[in-house]
Copies of this chain bind each other. A is one copy, B any other.
Amino acid sequence: MNEALLTYIHELRDLEGILELLGWEDETYAPKGARVARGPQVATLEAVIHRKLTNPQLATLLASATPDNELETVMLQRLQRQVDHATKVPEDLVKAIAEARSAALIAWQKAKADKDFDLFKPHLERLLPLVRDKGAALGGGQMSPYDALLDIYEPQMTTETLRPVLDDLRRGLVEIVDALRVAPQPPADCLEQRFGDGAQWQLTLRLLKDLGFDFSHGRQDRSAHPFTASVNERDVRVTTRIEEHNLMGAVSSTIHECGHALYEQGFDPAHYRTYLAAAPSMGIHESQSRLWENQVGLSRGFWRHYWPEMTTLFPGQLREVEVDTFWRAINRVQPSLIRVDADEVTYNLHILLRFELESAMIAGDLQVADLPAAWNDAMLTLLGVTPGNDAEGCLQDIHWASGAFGYFPTYTIGNLYAAQLFDAYRRAFPDVDTQLEAGRFEPLLKWLRHHIHRRGHTAAASDIVKETVGAPLSVTPLLDYLRAKYRAVYDVAL
């Protein structure tokens, strides 16, 4: 491949990494009053990247590019994808979306605080058709607008593939939820205590280290909302949030972000500074965070391993508690209103609801004015609960206000992939439970590194998973895993 083209790709990746650092900084160490001036700096850097992607010089380079091997071919396809995203949406529309989004975000915050959907409604009504137009522009007649939006986050995934899978998932999940609803809840008193900030912080660092997070190429800090930032392949950062009344908030978020970070720290050095050193989809990225968070971090073996540590760190709170009591407590299932607080079983029902509503909105089958009622109806049907107001209903998430339609399904795709991968791992290593109970996490990480991480974006997410587990996107492993686990947690037939 042309050296100039490779340099071009390197520079794009460098600048994107800097953008990531700016985002990380904004949530961690930036002084409060700096935000107003940081905005223009971020916008300028984004403009520089956008200009690089839309520069005719790049088009020329791409047109005359002669890849020397299959890897380079893929490398150029990935770059072309970036160029397409930067060029296919007309500049006027990009600008209109940016403006509408900006106003919608402010209105959404106020609407959520005031529990008043009407404050948000006109903004969503302005933003929605623009996002639909963006989908149409990206789809170019080849994909429906919604599929084109979905494709931004989950390349090569379509509604046609996804809907039947999600329908199956809904049926299976509702069955489990209904069975658990009538079972006696495990007691959760052991969690309803104060857990010191210092000990929690120490625990999260210990977990990161044990799971394989590389602190010489990363760090953990605190932020209001936990996230992972890849400044570059050798600098991957996670954040967590510690609240004294919410031990599992910090633990789960650290393990979750650790899963993302292990992925980002595990790309093939041969792909560094190119679009191959990247996850091929948000769904597969989420599979890594969720696998560690749920399949590993909510398992009985995991907590048996850490129990001596836990009772040392929190003697006053946990010395009298049985590990199994703790494990049952952290695995309670309870239909609830807020997605981000939902348990492993009900979580995907929150996503299914959003997928149906957002695809209907983009298709024009659901009007913004009818969103709150549709939301509340679906909550009642799927989860048997009704929001007391829209703040704990259709206003709870930032995604739509930020124009990110098509993003939600990737959470569930991630959960499905996680279960498929963990199932395949169990087939390869039938002693996985023993591994977890012994705190031996490196065989799992090594396996994920080999099958998922090192491959980066050399293939589509669906292909990588399929090659690893031997099957396409499927609900069976997740439902089987949930049934087996919750039989044990609740001691009921499932």
CB within 8 Å of B: which residues of A? Answer: 10-11, 14-15, 17-18, 21-22, 25, 29-34, 36-38, 40-41, 43-45, 47-48, 214-219, 221, 231-235, 237, 272-273
Q: Are A219 and B31 in contact (CB under 8 A)?
A: yes
Contact A45 B234, CB 8 Å, known A21-B22, A25-B21, A217-B33: no
Contact A34 B273, CB 8 Å, known A18-B22, A25-B21, A44-B15: no
Contacting residue for A234 out of B21, B36, B237, CB 8 A: B36
Q: Does B41 lie within 8 Å of A14, measured CB to CB?
A: yes
- Does B232 lie within 8 Å of A41, measured CB to CB? yes
Contact check: which of B14, B15, B17, B32 meets A216 at CB < 8 Å? B32
In Å, the complex CA distance between A43 and B11 comes to: 9
A301→B32 CA distance, assembly (Å): 34
Find chain B residues with CB under 8 A from A15 CB.
Answer: 41, 44-45, 48
Q: Select from chain B the residue with minimum beta-carbon distance to A18.
A: B41
**Are B217 and A44 in contact, with the CB atoms below 8 A?**
no
In the complex the two chains form, is A47's CB within 8 Å of B235's CB?
A: no
Q: Which residue of B lies closest to A218 (CB)?
A: B31
On chain B, the residues within 8 Å of A217 by CB distance are 31, 33-34
Partner of A215, one of B25, B31, B214, B221: B31
A22–B17 Cα distance when bound, in Å, is: 11
In angstroms, Cα B272 to Cα A38, docked, is 13
Task: List the 5 closest pairs (A to B, CB-CB), nearest first.
Answer: A34-B235, A14-B44, A33-B216, A37-B232, A37-B234
Q: 15 A–B contact pairs at CB < 8 A?
A: A10-B40, A10-B44, A11-B44, A14-B44, A18-B22, A29-B29, A29-B221, A31-B217, A33-B214, A34-B231, A37-B231, A37-B234, A38-B231, A38-B235, A40-B273
* Residue of chain B at shortest CB distance from A232: B37
Which B residues touch A38, using CB under 8 A?
231-232, 235
